[in-house]
Amino acid sequence: MVHPKSIITSFDFIIIGATGDLSTKKILPALMKRYLDDQIPEKSRIYCISRQSFSLDSFLKFLRKKLSPKQLTINQKTFSKFLSKIYYICLDVTDLNEDNVNLLKGHLEKSKNKIRLFYFATAPELFGLSAKVIKSKNLTNLKTRVIIEKPIGHDLLSAIKINNILNGCFEEKQIYRIDHYLGKETVQNLMVMRFANQIFETHWSNNSISNVQITVAEEKGIEGRELYYDAYGAIKDMMQNHMLQLLCLVAMEPPSKFDANLVRDEKLKVLLSLKIIDDPNDIILGQYGGKVENKKFNTPSYLTDSKNSNSETETFAALKVNIDNWRWAGVPFFLRTGKRLKKSASEIVITFKPIRHFIFDKEIENSIQPNQLIIRLQPDEGLKVLLMSKEPGPGGIRISPSSLNLSFSDTFKNKIPDAYERLLMDVVRGNQTLFMRRDEVEAAWNWLDPIINKIKKLGIKPTIYEPGSWGPKSSAKLIDKYGFSWHEPDNLKGI
């Protein structure tokens, strides 16, 4: 891996859709933090493009409010220096103003050979058009890279359509599809943990593992994104991308080298090995609502939040997934994600098979639990191994669970950057390892489309769950049916 402070070459960073949430909440703050870390070279420029007719001054005023230097712990002087890198150009890709196109072109041509990054921070419907515009108006150079963010389509066909346009304008090596989960430190650490340690890898298969759970739970709701969320729901918003990417990192074979295409080849093989979900009972959907006892979660129901009193969009989904290959045959992967759940916690729990033969007194056999490896992605990033150990004291052997805890958040305090910081600098460096390749995105939709069709065809509706719970009761029943139970993320305190 490249050291985060490796030398970065000057670049022009063009954000199309610069006044939106993605730009002001993620992209610009990430660039600002990299600036604080001396990773935005002197000659780099940031061009903010949007439909709104701001002057540079009024745009900077708008940014000053949005970026809130206090929260980002940057002093006013440095903040102003960072802002001096920014230019604003009013441009609507659906209704081009040629003068402004030329204005942007004029700026970019001042440094023809600089790395040029275009971030399409727009609605996905505009990805294709934005690509065509920058290409046909000669705004690109040989060092151009384009960045887009999920959702890439809403099904296989729409994803293919977007990809066809992008790949028609650019080579695949110029296209960076962000799944921000891949930029999270602990997610990258998953690969290091697996492939730089012998103790895990030798047990990493159906020989030793009984089941894998992947949970991405959020306390928050849809936060004003009702139009988008109501059309997508948890399966398309989270399963298709973040959850499947995590599953790939857990299940993939070791690539021969840590190289962008070799890593992505291995992830693709996992996606292509996912078994079709035949049993509709292995698909659980939920929607938050109903009566709430807990004040903290006494929030409006999803129907109110979405402003759609008839909505049948799921805010929770749990799936039992199988991977049809040699390593994972017979090992269920349980995936669950939801909004307004009891606790915000993302974790991967690997549960090992029970020991093969118990040598201690039969009476204490029940106190034995299978070993578990719990990888906490956020918050309190860390790793915990649940082991059986002897309770201290005389009078025979008593066994109880104890744990080995490794807290990344304590060990690397203040060193865990935001996912976007890492990803944006990787685009500048031209490293595609942590970005989704076209075939991965399409393979994920190809697996998911039949599930979505089944949900429609069989009329599977979300069950209402109480905000502040762990989702609908059917989610616990799903895993219970296979003889397991969900790991309760609360137990992780102390990591």
State the SS3 of 383-439.
Answer: EEEEEEEECCCCCCCCEEEEEEEEEHHHHCCCCCCCHHHHHHHHHHHCCCCCEECHH
Host H or E run for residue 321: strand 316-321
Closest approach, Cβ 237 to ligand BG6, in A, equals 5
Q: How far is the CB of 431 from ligand BG6 (least distance, A)?
A: 21
Q: With respect to ligand BG6, which residue has the nearer C-beta, 237 or 466?
A: 237
End-to-end CA distance of the chain: 26
Q: Which of 3, 154, 180, 242 is catalytic?
A: 242
* Cβ distance to ligand BG6 smaller for residue 116 or 150: 150
Q: Report how far Cα 430 is from the mean position of its chain's Cα atoms.
A: 20
CB of 359 to ligand BG6, least distance (A): 44
Tokens for 393, please give them. 């004291």
- CB nearer to ligand BG6: give 218 or 466: 218
Closest among 370, 411, 406 to 388, alpha carbons compared: 370
Which of residues 183 and 255 has its CB atom nearest to ligand BG6 in the complex?
183
Of all residues in this chain, which one has the CB nearest to ligand BG6 in the complex? 237
Beta bridge partners, 389, equal 400
Please give the helix or strand (H or E) that residue 176 lies within, else none.
strand 175-178
The residues that bridge with 116 in the sheet, in sequence order, are: 12, 144
Residue 407 CB, shortest distance to ligand BG6, in Å, is 19
What does residue 150 show for φ and ψ, rounded to 5 degrees?
Answer: -60, 155
For residue 49 the two structure tokens come to 């493009």
Binding site for ligand BG6 (CB under 6 A): 180, 218, 237
Which residues sit opposite 345 in a β-bridge?
Answer: 217
Query: Which CB sits closer to ligand BG6, 179 or 466?
Result: 179
Instruction: Please give the Cα distance from 459 to 454 (Å, whole number).
Output: 8
- The question of whether 3 is a catalytic residue gets the answer no
The SS3 of residue 175 is strand
Q: Which is nearer to ligand BG6, 119 or 170 (CB)?
A: 119
Q: What is the C-alpha to C-alpha distance for residues 403 and 376, in angstroms, rounded to an integer? A: 14
Quote the least distance from Cβ 296 to ligand BG6, whole Å.
18
Report in angstroms how near the CB of residue 368 gets to ligand BG6 at its nearest. 34
What is the distance of C-alpha 315 from the center of its chain? 17
- What would the 3-class secondary structure string for 55-88 be? CHHHHHHHHHHHHCCCCCCCCHHHHHHHHCCEEE
Q: Does residue 145 contact residue 430 with C-beta atoms inside 8 Å?
A: yes
* CB of residue 232 to ligand BG6, shortest distance in Å: 8
Under a CB-based contact definition with an 8 Å cutoff, are residues 100 and 90 in contact? yes
> Cβ closer to ligand BG6: 386 or 448?
448
Residues annotated as catalytic (active site), given as ranges: 242
